[in-house]
Structure 1
């Protein structure tokens, strides 16, 4: 047995332990962030969570729209369910990114700019997630 074989598992465990401690520390500092850096970090974490939820809902909604397409789209010359959903989502992503960049410009070049952008993206992303959910739940 060589030294690399012995050290690799130990280093991997140490890295995992460090990541766990860092995550716990970051979660506690997000309870009441006191510095701009912490606020920016926490807003980015919240945005990532909202984006992950949006991606899960996107997959479910896209699958339902594809199912509806496969059930038979009327031959009325209009696009199918999924293609309209995809066009709308692509347009929404462009809107979200540009709108939130504009919101961030209220603190252009300042340390608060990332916070404004992340909060904007979180808010719009949560709203879009609800809209995608409504497409699947309709008419309920």
Structure 2
């Protein structure tokens, strides 16, 4: 696990209601400059659609929201993602708190299922034909 030091950050947020975890998703003005206004607006449309789905599925139930998990492609299959998730999984289990996540890559569904997540909902952002999979670990 010598590669752990190369990982920048992991984010998880315990939410009192589904909408609370969405605040971290919105890009800052600096990202707007990098993406360009058109792509930034598309990104926000997608985030709003995904966020509305999150709220509809989880309602006001307390849960953890695993917003992002990424490992450098060259470092995949070394157990880094699993190691990064482990503290959150242990904490959620100890508190009997569910964890919710979305993925935009279908091959990640199997990965998360290996960590105890169940597929909750599959959706598509109609305007962009962008599919995403909503998953949950634990019950509410």
TM-score, normalised to structure 1, is 0.24
RCO higher in structure (CA 8 A, sep ≥6): 1
TM-score, normalised to structure 2, is 0.24
